[in-house]
Amino acid sequence: MAYLILARKYRPQTFDEVYAQDHITKILKNTIEMDRTAQAYLFTGPRGVGKTSLARIFAKSLNCLSDGPTTTPCNTCQNCTEITQGNSSDVIEIDGASNTGVEDIRDLQKELMYAPSNSRNKIYIIDEVHMLSKNAFNALLKTLEEPPEKVVFIFATTEPHKVIPTIISRCQRFDFKRIPIPAIIDRLSSICKIDGISIDPEALFAIGKKADGSMRDALSLMDQIIAYGKDYISLVDVLSIFGIVHTDVFYKILLSVTEKNASSIIELLHDILEKGNDIQEFLNGMLDYIRNLLLLKLEIEIPTVSKANRKQMLEISDKFEDDDLLYIMTILIKTKMDIKSSSNPTLVAEMAFIKISRLSELQSLDKIIDSINTGKPVQMKPTKIKPVRKQPVQNVEVAVPEQQETTIMHEKTEEVKAEIQKEAEEEKPKIDKLTIEAVEESLDDIAKVLSKRKPIVANYFIKCQIRNLSNNFLHLASA
């Protein structure tokens, strides 16, 4: 027998096996028990969360021969077996991506005239229904409003906004949720026990995070890991196979930022790129890491952070202010956009991380705005000056000269002082009085100097207008 991938081997066959969609399974169970089956259902949600699987389970519950309609299909009767295998004549699965035209819908409508062959209901499961054309949707409207007896439509889509409102209004809509990481880990752990696979819990956490809420993706990743062929699967194996950057790298980068060590940051960046990691994935990972730091500073529980990483993240988060982390995220987001249009993405990334390494040189925006409004310069940290030690005074005998010589020396001293003062006044540069006109003529030059030294201040300066000039203090106001 051919190998069956995990996503098919462990596909849910009953309502109880569906993970993290209790709000939907409960309603569908009650629908069956109360005999209130609607003519059309719309299942929406991300990929791999159980939309098509739940549609099949619902179809089996309605058509089970053992005790149907039932909330617990037997999975052994002819109808249940055929639905599981996908060859039931009364449960038809249609791919909306390849049957998009109005002619396909008209062919379907002709089939509706025939009663079910050996089932209670004729059920049509249309996957990716948003791919149907507008004319195909319009052809379905009348059928959905007044469908033949014993016909049930189940639509599944990942993009409900592309389904026309008149179709949605004729269906009962169920929104599927992303599967939480703990639920994915629980499912993978049980599968590993059944198949006798030894794996590190941290590796399972990494797979669950990589799956992004999709159980099918998690099982596909697990298949790939098992094919790696090792007796024990470690976290390092998972990171290397899927090109995931370890959180230790992000920690080291931020630690280097606090130490103003730009060379260390660039070395870490080059090491990541030399290993073949995608630069966009690397930036996404760092953005996610910094986001988690911000949430931890706000004391918010984060399911995507393992207990092993929490202590390390709390340690590094204490070294940054919230504004600093937001500034780094802003640079990374801009870098992601710039890389898309650049022929040299490595250069763009290097420039961004060098800018991040100079974070400590930036002044607080509140202080800058306050200094502009008040006309006072930004107060820098005071420099500590060592106190001067008092030296003991020694008694020195001074010989007193004759009165005539003292008078001559005093006159010469006064002449020298006057001459020195005159030369100093002549050498002193003449400073013209500062005027608003002179400042306006120099605005471009000031902006250029600011853009090189303080880009954030330059952006604010360009948007300001001159309010007044008094005592050589320039007062600005926002435009």
Residues with Cβ within 8 Å of residue 185, at least 6 apart in sequence? 201, 204, 205, 208
Task: Using alpha carbons, select from 17, 35, 30 the residue that is nearest to residue 174.
Answer: 30
Helix (H/G/I), strand (E/B), else coil: 461? helix
Pairing label, strands 151-157, 232-233? unpaired
CA–CA separation, 287 and 250 (whole Å): 10
Question: What is the pLDDT at residue 476?
Answer: 75
Measured from the Cβ of residue 119, the count of other Cβ atoms closer than 10 Å reads: 23
* 3-state DSSP assignment of residue 212: coil
CA-to-CA distance for 31 and 304, rounded, in angstroms?
Answer: 35
The CATH label, of 3.10.150.10, 3.40.50.720, 3.40.50.300, 3.40.718.10, for the domain at 6-175 is 3.40.50.300
Question: Could you tell me if 250 and 286 are in contact, meaning their C-beta atoms sit under 8 angstroms apart?
Answer: yes
Other Cβ atoms less than 10 A from the Cβ of 21: the count is: 23
Burial class of residue 237 in the structure, from the number of CB atoms within 10 Å of its CB (0-12 exposed, 13-18 middle, 19+ buried): middle
How do the domains of the chain map onto residue ranges? Answer: 6-175, 181-242, 247-361, 364-374+410-479
Burial 187-216 (b: 16+ CB within 10 A, else e): bbeebbeeeebebeebbbbbbbbbbbbbbb
- Our CA angle for 242, 257, 288, nearest 5°, is 35
Which phi and psi angles does 117 have, rounded to 5°? -75, -50
Q: Of 55, 65, 25, 75, nearest to 124 (Cα)?
A: 55
- Strands in 395-435 per DSSP E: none
Residues 6 or more apart in contact with residue 186 via CB below 8 angstroms: none
DSSP secondary structure letter of residue 299: T
Q: Which CATH class is domain 181-242?
A: mainly alpha
Any idea what DSSP says for residue 219? H
CATH of 247-361 given 1.10.10.60, 1.20.272.10, 1.10.3720.10, 3.40.605.10: 1.20.272.10
pLDDT by position in tens, the chain (length 479): 577 888 888 899 999 889 889 999 999 999 999 989 888 999 999 999 999 999 999 999 998 888 778 889 888 888 889 998 888 888 888 888 777 778 888 888 888 888 888 888 899 998 988 988 888 888 888 888 888 888 899 999 999 999 899 889 989 999 999 999 889 999 999 999 998 889 888 899 989 989 988 999 999 999 898 888 777 888 888 888 888 888 889 999 999 988 888 899 999 999 988 888 889 989 999 999 999 899 888 888 887 787 778 888 888 888 888 888 898 999 999 999 999 988 899 999 999 999 988 887 665 555 566 666 666 655 544 433 344 455 555 554 545 445 444 444 555 556 656 665 665 555 554 445 667 777 777 777 777 777 777 777 777 777 777 777 776 677 777 66
Q: Where are the beta strands (DSSP E) in 118-223?
A: 122-127, 151-157, 172-175, 198-199
Q: For residue 268, what pLDDT is reported?
A: 92
Greatest Cα pair distance in the chain:
141
Q: Is 164 helix (H, G, I), strand (E, B) or coil?
A: coil
DSSP string, 111-176: HTTSPPSSSS-EEEEEETGGGS-HHHHHHHHHHHHSPPTTEEEEEEES-GGGS-HHHHTTSEEEEP
Name the nearest CA neighbour of 464 among 450, 474, 449, 479. 479
- Asked if residue 69 has a cis previous peptide bond (ω within 30° of 0), the answer is yes
Give the Cα separation of 258 and 320 in Å (integer).
8
d(CA 328, CA 60): 53
Distance between CA atoms of residues 115 and 150, nearest Å: 8
With a CB cutoff of 8 Å and minimum separation 6, the contacts of 341 are: none
Q: Can you give the length of the chain in residues?
A: 479
**Distance from C-alpha of 124 to C-alpha of 441, rounded to nearest angstrom:** 75
